[in-house]
Structure 1
Amino acid sequence: MQEVRKLLCDEQWEKLSPLLPGKPSDPGATAQDNRLFLKAVLWIMRTGSPWRDLPAELGNWHTTYTRFKRWGESGVWQRVCEIVSGDRDLKMLMIDSTVVRAHQHAAGAKKKEGPQAIGRSRGGWTSKIHVVVDPLGSPVRWLLTGGEVADITQATQAKSLLEGLKADAVLADKGYDADALIDSIQVAGATAVIPPRRNRVVQRSYDRHLYKERNLVERFFNRIKQFRRIATRYEKLVRNYLSFLNLVCTYIWIT
């Protein structure tokens, strides 16, 4: 259990504890074991283990899973992440996506239970995490789709990754080279730092030096995939997988 303790040090707990349900000031019963509960969820997320394999010293697996699911349904994980990520630097934004292979246990959810966002791509059944990060490599906004969904669609459609975000520059790879996206970035007063595709009749110029900073979004993906429950998708429903994703983004912001 030493590794679990390292995942949630006193300083991190002090930042999170006032934001969680079950405080004495909240209506209803208090939750004195919130810290143990978070350790249990972090252990599951780090190791990728089934809920039933949760060590007894971290609590009852079924009780822990039930609370994890309930907090996801009520928006707790998302709300906490939005609070800790409030102090964001939006001068420069990097946008990209990463593919996550879906485990066989992720299949089979009934449609009435909610969306799954699992699709067939070159790697088989996969999901795709689309994300925007700031100049420090911290997550600003993220979406989950099936693995077959093109990156550009999540940057140009309504309620896109970039909607409402004001920046001086937006960095992306050539997969985002589309006139509609570049025009919308420029209309918003930002510079599009996106390499042109080779098949463009007229090649655009872009800031090659600034483009090197795009590595921050790749480093973000490497970081979240250290958590095996993120690197491989086991959850059947979007809601549960996004709960883990919200938690890992929260963890990055407070680390």
Structure 2
Amino acid sequence: MRRDEVTDAAWERIAPLSPVSAGRGDRWKDHRQVLNAIVWKLRTGAPWRDIPDRYGSWKTAHERLRRWSADGTWDRILDHVQVHDDAIGEIEWTFHVDSTVVRAHQHAAGARKPGTAKKGALGRPRGPGIAIPAVAGEAIGRSRGGLSSKIHLAVDGRGRPMAVRLTEGQAGDNPQLLPLLDDVRVARPGRGRPRKRPDRVVADKAYSHLSTRIALRRRGIAVTIPERSDQLARRAAKGSAGGRPPAFDAAIYRQRNLVERCFNRLKQFRAIATRYAKRAVLYRALLTLAATLIWLT
């Protein structure tokens, strides 16, 4: 087993979730060999055609990534890992939320844009066996650094990914907060609804909007978000009519670096640090696989 391959312990958790049949009575080629090929691509960021011969055909690896993106296999694997850790009390339900911009390589540009594409963020598929809809522009936009995509991430109190969404690089952070939380669904062993709501959300000033605070309060979620300077000045100008400032715990806010550290771990995978994939669904699949590997290490 090489450094850039799936460990035996990780494969023991992933293997039971791998589809048995490829359709029409055919069987998949060795899942572990193909998964190692995808992980090699994920870690190095090299072109698909440069995948070493020991992992088999690069076309098989690319097709497996595409098909398991369409049928939701990657998300089911991540869900399974989260459910297992939640059952043994390993998930801390204080979420830290932030975003980061990744530069899109010139190879990521030029994807054909379907006429039926939807515009918006690319999040979790809404059910098993349902293909993820295409996104107008393939979640590539223009920020100060040029062509880019933005990763929106929510991590638990131990800095592990709970949900990830993908938008164009110039997209705002705050509009993606509630959809990001809606993507969290951790099933419980046995009967009962999956858990969706954290106990608290910790975020920076980009998420300091009154509508966001009200929406989180209605969901019964505590908020630790500092106010922006213009909001402070506006309340001060109103005097007593400006009302009380929202509750803010500086000690809790100091833990917000957990999400930054998770971004650093994700960007250790070079295919994440720079986007080479043309299709947003494939780039998000690589993100989901990287998040799963973080949970398993």
Return the TM-score normalized by structure 2: 0.79
Q: How much does 1:28 deviate? A: 3.1
C-alpha contact 1:22 1:32 (8 A) present in aligned 2:
no
Q: What is residue 193 of structure 1 aligned with on the other side? A: 224
Distance 1:229 1:192 in 2: 33
Q: What is residue 206 of structure 2 aligned with on the other side? A: 175
Secondary structure of 1:235's counterpart equals coil
Q: How much does 1:148 deviate? A: 0.6
Residues 67 and 166 (structure 1 numbering): CA distance in 2 closer, same or farther, change over 3 Å?
closer
Q: What is residue 11 of structure 2 aligned with on the other side? A: 13
Q: What is residue 241 of structure 1 aligned with on the other side? A: 283
Report the residue type matching 2:140 in the other structure: I
Q: What is residue 128 of structure 1 aligned with on the other side? A: 150
Q: What is residue 3 of structure 2 aligned with on the other side? A: 3
C-alpha contact 1:8 1:39 (8 A) present in aligned 2:
yes
Distance 1:212 1:146 in 2: 29
Matched, 1:154 2:154: no
Counting aligned pairs with the same residue, the percent is: 44
Q: How much does 1:129 deviate? A: 0.5
Q: What is residue 103 of structure 2 aligned with on the other side? A: 101
Secondary structure of 1:96's counterpart equals strand
Q: How much does 1:246 deviate? A: 1.0
C-alpha contact 2:92 2:158 (8 A) present in aligned 1:
no
Distance 1:189 1:132 in 2: 18
Q: Deviations over 1:103-124 (max 9, x none)?
A: 0000101111832000001111
Distance 2:254 2:283 in 1: 31
After superposition, residues 133-148 of structure 1 pair within 5 angstroms as: 133-148=155-170
Matched, 1:70 2:101: no
Matched, 1:213 2:235: no
C-alpha contact 2:35 2:61 (8 A) present in aligned 1:
no
Q: How much does 1:32 deviate? A: 5.4
Report the residue type matching 1:179 in the other structure: L
Distance 1:28 1:253 in 2: 33
CA RMSD of the aligned region, Å?
A: 2.0
Secondary structure of 1:199's counterpart equals helix
C-alpha contact 2:140 2:167 (8 A) present in aligned 1:
yes
Distance 2:112 2:226 in 1: 42
Return the TM-score normalized by structure 1: 0.91
How many residues align structurally?
Answer: 249
Secondary structure of 1:3's counterpart equals coil
Secondary structure of 1:236's counterpart equals coil
* Stretch deviating more after TM superposition (183-192 or 137-146): 183-192
Equivalent residue for 1:60, pick from 57, 61, 77: 57
* Stretch deviating more after TM superposition (219-228 or 108-117): 108-117
Q: What is residue 222 of structure 1 aligned with on the other side? A: 264
* Stretch deviating more after TM superposition (67-76 or 172-181): 67-76
Distance 2:58 2:164 in 1: 28
Distance 1:50 1:32 in 2: 21
Q: How much does 1:204 deviate? A: 3.8
Question: Which aligned runs of 4 or more in structure 1 are off by greater than 4 angstroms?
Answer: none
Q: How much does 1:62 deviate? A: 1.5
Q: How much does 1:51 deviate? A: 0.3
Q: Deviations over 1:198-246 (max 9, x none)?
A: 1112354410000011111001100010000011001111111011011
